[in-house]
Amino acid sequence: MQKKSIYLVTGGCGFIGSNFIEMLLKKGIFVINLDSYSYAANKKINKKFNKFKNYIFFKGNYGNIKIIKKIFKKYKITKIINFAAETHVDNSINGPIKFIKNNILDFSLFLNECLKYYLTNKKKIKNFKFLHVSTDEVYGSLRIKEKSFSEKDKYFPNSPYSSSKASSDLIARSWFKTYGFPILISNCSNNYGKYQNYEKLIPLTIMKAMNKKKIPVYGSGRNVRDWLHVEDHCSALYLLSNLGVPGEQYNIGGGTEVPNIKIVKMICSYLDNLYPLKGKKYSTFINFVKDRPGHDFRYSVNYNKIKKKFNWKPKVNFKNGLKQTVKWYANKIKNGNLQ
């Protein structure tokens, strides 16, 4: 077991966080997971992680100063990876204040405690970094022929979720500029893969289809997303946690732009082969619904910076990755295991 690096991961029972922790544990790295255990937490994967000797779990919100002080007093943290956030756009539209509190106020409380810890221990800790994991949604929406967003583009968030994440990015940047806190920011495109909550497009489509229920598609389904396999994302984050330059921002993209309706049809086609219905296609369950307010048309990030500086690029082919993802969720649903 490697004890040189101790990672504090916030939101480690969420979709990307749980995949990231799983990767770290396999590398033998010591991991402390702080998660509030919200509705989106994967409690089953946490029970699996608890079997590892190089894993410790704390239940609580990252804005809880008492818990943060306890962790910092007991462990010499060398890396902090912040996944903790409210993330679902629909939920942010229905209840924006919760997003503002969690993603801005609680984040600021956590960040300030991390700064205190760093200033007290910086002479003892080598290569300490705080990696703030953010989203491409902070940049706003693109038209179909516009260039992909680069790290130099301005922020134009269009939902309470993306505006709260944009705010946290700017607060993080100020902690570097004002206090010299070694923080870096990553902005990823849409992730897909195992352990994602069923409220998101891909697992929701699979679940609805397999239960022979209507598959909701917003508007005409032409909204375009750049898709990144969660394992590729995790590999980039691990790289940045070691080689990333404090004060810098890095886009992490999948390089695969696909309209939502095409994603849904691809999933239906894969299910037709995996679990064929008698005299019916899964695509017949597709149901176009009223578009949500402020729905961004297209997301796309230029990831040339991380590619040129660290020779990183996504490895998972989208069609193969999606097919594997559909199979993983379909088997879970078939066996009555929704996590």
Domain ranges in the chain?
Answer: 2-192+229-253+299-315
Structure tokens at 237: 């984050």
Name the percent of the chain lying above pLDDT 90.
94
Residue at token pair 């994440």 = 165
Which of 86, 136, 226, 231 is labelled catalytic? 136
109 burial (CB, 10 Å; 0-12 / 13-18 / 19+) is middle
Average pLDDT over residues 313-317: 98
3 state SS of 4: strand
158, 210 in Cβ contact below 8 A? Answer: no
| Cα–Cα distance for residue pair 2/30, rounded to 1 Å | 7
Average pLDDT over residues 102-124: 97
| pLDDT, tens digit, 9 for 90 and up, residues 290-313 | 998 989 999 999 999 999 999 999
Q: Are strands 257-259 and 224-229 parallel, antiparallel or unpaired?
A: antiparallel
Does 169 qualify as catalytic in the annotation? no
pLDDT at 337: 72
| pLDDT, tens digit, 9 for 90 and up, residues 211-223 | 999 999 999 999 9
| Closest-CA residue to 252 (of 262, 240, 265, 263) | 240
**pLDDT tier at 1, thresholds 50, 70, 90:** very low
Mean pLDDT of the chain: 96
Q: How far is CA 49 from CA 21, 29, 170, in A?
A: 8, 13, 33
| Cα–Cα distance for residue pair 37/32, rounded to 1 Å | 15
| Closest-CA residue to 132 (of 9, 4, 305) | 9
Does 117 qualify as catalytic in the annotation? no
Residues contacting residue 224 through CB under 8 Å, at least 6 positions apart? 144, 257, 258, 259, 260, 297, 298, 299, 300
Which of 139, 161, 192, 270 is labelled catalytic? 161
**pLDDT tier at 88, thresholds 50, 70, 90:** confident
| Cα–Cα distance for residue pair 220/159, rounded to 1 Å | 20
Name the percent of the chain lying above pLDDT 70.
99
CATH number of 2-192+229-253+299-315: 3.40.50.720
Which of 137, 226, 231, 257 is labelled catalytic? 137
Q: Which amino acid is at 151?
A: E
Does 199 qualify as catalytic in the annotation? no
Determine the length of the chain. Answer: 339
